[in-house]
Amino acid sequence: MATDYFGIHVPFLDMLGVTAELDAEGRPFVSVDVRPELMNSFHVTHGGVIMTLLDVAMAMSARVSSRHKGGAITVDMSMSFLRPASGRVTARGRVLHSGRSLYFCEGEAQDASGQLIAKSLGTLSCAKRCTTARATDVLPNSIHQENKMSETNLQVLLASRPTGWVEENNFNIVTTPIPEPKAGEVLVRNHYLSLDPYMRGRMNDTKSYAAAVAIGAVMVGGTVGEVVKSNHPGFQAGDKVSGYFGWQLYGVSDGTMLQKVDATKVPLSAYLGVLGMPGVTAWYGLMDICAPKPGETVVVTAASGAVGSVVGQLAKIHGARAVGIAGGAEKCRYVVDELGFDACIDYKAGKLWADLKAATPKGIDCLFENVGGEIFDMLLGRMNAFSRIAVCGLISQYNSEPYPMKNIGSVLINRIKMQGFIVSEHLPRWPVALKELSTEIAAGRIKYRETVAHGLRAAPAAFIGLLKGQNFGKQVVKLI
Ligand SMILES: NC(=O)c1ccc[n+]([C@@H]2O[C@H](COP(=O)([O-])OP(=O)(O)OC[C@H]3O[C@@H](n4cnc5c(N)ncnc54)[C@H](OP(=O)(O)O)[C@@H]3O)[C@@H](O)[C@H]2O)c1
């Protein structure tokens, strides 16, 4: 069964009620009423409903803008982010760069309220004029360069230690030979790099729970990618793996800290976020330290971020009331409307205390603290007797002097249990956490979003943006 969408044959989509239309300005888009019971039917080409819609939208847009009339169009998309959706979804695509007969496109899908639920990048080739085109012909510059130079490795080194805010000149980008795996080792091509707040601490040379990155060394970081050569009995070429190769395109491992992952059900990048270190961090701090009871109030700071977004959704799943604190109205809207928190306070609105009192009428039983400083100090003033605080992060002071806390007396007066933790020290809890997280993601009860920077050369700027709150959800860098 195939249907003609502006001259493009897309199997089965008509059976699922997908329509191809033109908007008032003559631009093509596709729309569909996404019904949960049909979700499996959509797992056709690229792993999910939005991917398929975006395929169509991108292909249509390319067809219209390229005036390409004959031959088949094939689409090869790499997803940036995707959230489960239901109800009416519309998808549009446009050509970013065009080669002779290969187009680099982007697509977006929105739900009925206009919220962005998916964003994709991909290439599209037109078979009649072009059967052997390579994606690198038309990719944007940063990725293009990296793919072209994939006979060599690209690395981001720590060039100097920042004082205060990180600057791009604290990093040095170099090309080096691709390392050769020895006996018992594997060579991995990284597809995504994770950017995380803890990396700021590794740029300092002060006493901490982990060693500093040496000047001239590759910046540390979690990665996901594919084994390209293996001399290790446990891995073979083609295996998708998560590892800790740092800010570089290739890495060699003897298998230590290398995990095979299944990228057929969730996108590979999810293993850096909701199904990786940040997801487990949220689970551990909430379940093992805060341990909320049904009906209790859980407050989480940096609520729209990689860790915070999971904390609030897990709290809801376990019957608690979830209140987020985030920077800006858009992030707060997302936290309530998309993630299902009961309330969210925009700390930038300038009336934090009044908003906090309104959102926590029964005080706070569990605080999951990601930010520290003035916000944390104020939250201490709303804590209940025998409440719990999981001190996960203090991002507001990673680039500045510590904030002098005024309300620390609340810990004594309210007999608060307050505990800091480092998720990598609780490895026995990871399988338990990942089991619950993957179940809830599959059931659509935990949603997530990503901010994607493109190309390793974009990593320093994206990292600086993360420290300034410019990310919206998990910050990753797409490397391939
Ligand atoms: N203990 C552990 O093992 C562990 C593991 C992972 C992460 N962490 C910590 O968990 C926290 C969240 O990490 P993440 O990966 O989920 O990052 P994230 O929340 O995805 O991104 C960082 C967010 O922090 C907020 N922020 C930055 N500067 C701020 C400031 N001055 N005041 C208030 N908010 C600020 C921003 O959100 P807004 O725009 O909403 O302000 C920004 O988007 C960090 O503190 C991190 O160090 C700890």
pLDDT at 98: 66
Matching residue, tokens 């179940």: 439
DSSP per-residue codes, 165-217:
S--GGGEEEEEEEPPPP-TT-EEEEEEEEE--THHHHHTS-S--SSPPPPTTS
Instruction: Indicate if 277-442 has the same CATH topology as 2-137.
Output: no
Both tokens of 390, joined, read 């999981």
Q: Distances from the Cα of 97 to the Cαs of 80, 323, 333, 479, in angstroms?
A: 18, 43, 33, 18
pLDDT digits (tens, 9 = 90+) for 448-477: 999 999 899 999 999 999 999 999 999 999
Q: What is the pTM of this model?
A: 0.74
Q: Specify the residue with its C-alpha closest to ligand 1, atom 19.
A: 305
Both tokens of 320, joined, read 């608690």
- Probe residue for ligand 1, chosen from 194, 208, 286, 307 as the CB with the greatest number of ligand atoms within 8 Å: 307
pLDDT at 9: 57
Tell me if 346 CB under 6 Å of ligand 1. no
Confidence of residue 137 (pLDDT cuts 50, 70, 90): very low
pLDDT at 178: 95
Phi then psi dihedrals of residue 37, to 5 deg:
-70, -15
Q: Specify the residue with its C-alpha closest to ligand 1, atom 7.
A: 278
How confident is the prediction for the chain on average, in pLDDT? 84
CB proximity list for 163: less than 8 A, separation 6 or greater: none
Mean pLDDT lowest among 199-208, 346-355, 362-371: 199-208
Q: Which CATH superfamily is domain 141-272+450-478 in?
A: Medium-chain alcohol dehydrogenases, catalytic domain (3.90.180.10)
CATH architecture of 277-442: 3-Layer(aba) Sandwich (3.40)
More confident residue, 144 or 157: 157
Q: Specify the residue with its C-alpha closest to ligand 1, atom 9.
A: 393
CATH 3.40.228.10 fits 2-137, yes or no: no
Burial class (CB in 10 A: 0-12, 13-18, 19+), 148: exposed
DSSP per-residue codes, 288-353:
III-PPTT-EEEEESTTSHHHHHHHHHHHHTT-EEEEEESSHHHHHIIIIIT--SEEEEGGGS-HH
More confident residue, 14 or 421: 421
Tell me if 306 CB under 6 Å of ligand 1. yes
- Probe residue for ligand 1, chosen from 220, 370, 464 as the CB with the greatest number of ligand atoms within 8 Å: 370
pLDDT at 390: 98
pLDDT at 224: 97
Among residues 146, 141, 144, which one has the least CA distance to residue 156?
A: 146
pLDDT at 143: 45
Using DSSP's 3-state secondary structure scheme, residue 250 falls into strand
Highest mean pLDDT among 129-133, 201-205, 358-362: 358-362
- Probe residue for ligand 1, chosen from 395, 397, 451, 477 as the CB with the greatest number of ligand atoms within 8 Å: 395
Q: Which atom of ligand 1 is nearest to the CA of 281?
A: 5
Using DSSP's 3-state secondary structure scheme, residue 471 falls into coil
190 with 225: CB under 8 angstroms?
A: yes
Q: Which residues of 46-69 are buried (b: 16+ CB within 10 A; e: fewer)?
A: bbbbbbbbbbbbbbbbbbbbeebe
- Per-domain residue ranges of the chain: 2-137, 141-272+450-478, 277-442
Both tokens of 213, joined, read 């990155």
